[in-house]
Amino acid sequence: MRLIVKDMDIATGGVQVVLINQEDARMLDLHAEDRLLVRKGRRETTAVLDIGESPKAVPRGRVGVFEEVLDALHAKDGDVIEIELGEKPKSIACIKKKLDGFELSQAEVVQIVKDITDDKLTDIELTSYVTANYANGMSMKEIVFLTKAMVETGDRLVPKAKIVADLHCIGGVPGNRTTMIVVPILVAAGLTVPKTASRAITSPAGTADTMEVLAPVALPKKRLEQVLKDVGGFIVWGGAMNLAPADEKIIHVEHPLSIDAEGQMLASIMAKKAVVGATHLLVDLPVGPGSKLKNKSEALHLQRHFDDLGKVLGIKMKVIITNGSEPIGNGIGPALEARDCVWLLQGDARAPKDLLKKSLKMAGMLLEFTGKAAEGDGYAMANGILRSGEAYDAMVRMIKAQGGKEPVAEKIQLCKLTAVVKARRSGTVIKIDDALIARVARIAGAPQSKGAGLFLHVHKHADVKQGDLLMTIYSDSQAKLDFALKEAVNKEVLIIQ
């Protein structure tokens, strides 16, 4: 059927959509969510059908076309296009197979990733794939297939350095911004470190959210290649580039569900490392009652998977199992965490000591792993680079190269509305619940509001007196602030005995 284009001036952000009048749909026996083959001249694409119930939306004889379809067809308002019923993507059957609990073949996983990358799946279909992996788990074969497919469907960075260092934490520990300290130390030591980071999925801030307080993190590939050449490293959001594009689309679905399936997490991490050319990778696995890994056996299980994937991808691996029983650092939320990092890099006395210690340990391991430091000398070398100001200078070079300005900790904007939580009894802090801390900070508005979150005035094993300050909550909404405060007090985020 030939129809006249009505430019809807709407973009979906991914999936291709067209809209036709319900009378035309009835005549053609078309239904919402059907796939339509849409053609203009020699150009064609497949779009998802929506139905317009009113002629005001789209009159008979016309087809409402969203921006993604217009771009694919090089069409404009008033053009004539042809539509016909199309087939559903081949990956739908593969997703149904995974929902039924069966293992997928390499070809089936590749087909799913290709359809995700090409925006051929609706949100419902993509969500079905994500939840199927979460509910039924993934075999090691499927994880390898997914990792390789993610790598092969996007662009790659090809650093000229023979040794390319990278690091990653699987998350689950609020405030754990070691990347912001380790990367500048490594860059100052002369290593190439193309660090792509994610935005928060279930946490109050991801590394990309925190770095964005100091500099733009959504940079095109050519700009990144120049930054890498000029500075030796960067910290950017991987989702802004066409590096493993299917991964960011999966993360987009995981975010509102607050899920992070093991297989998808492994594939996501390792695909991102492969596409930036990493040769040496350090992975941080925090273990604790409120973190993603509850005990050491779970961490060792994950370590084996990382080692296996590293061998498949040709990446040398080191895994560190760390204490995840409480938050790292004092600030929880993008701006608060960024301020912690600036203080630490500048040698300010207000910098969190736990973040300092962990960052130096990880930086030292990577310096030894890459041959920059002799065995046993890495920690001292990292500490010397930090204390001399070289790491701070490297961070400033990265920030400026990415389009930011030299940071001033006191000028980092925090939300104006605050509330405090005080100790209701004297004693010792015996527990700080990671999951509850993250929940309070997210209720307050993090990470969507960069200045929202909370600041911890004490950590585990601290002795406090009744009335002592335990935390300050920041928010840009009184309603959110009140809710966050109520949650923090009623749930006893910090337990004192």
Number of H helices, E strands in the chain: 18, 18
What residues have CB less than 8 Å from 18, skipping those under 6 apart?
36, 38, 47, 48, 49, 50, 63, 64, 65, 66, 69, 83
Within 189-244, where are the H helices? 207-211, 221-231
Q: From CA 206, how far away is CA 236, in angstroms rounded?
A: 11
Burial class (CB in 10 A: 0-12, 13-18, 19+), 82: middle
Residue type at position 496: I
Residue type at position 70: L
* DSSP symbol at 454: E
**Is 260 a residue of the active site?**
yes
β-sheet bridge partners, residue 324: none
> Which is catalytic among the residues 260, 284, 433, 434?
260
What residues have CB less than 8 Å from 326, skipping those under 6 apart?
173, 288, 431, 432, 434, 459, 460
Contact 472, 444 (CB under 8 A): no
Please identify every residue annotated as catalytic.
260
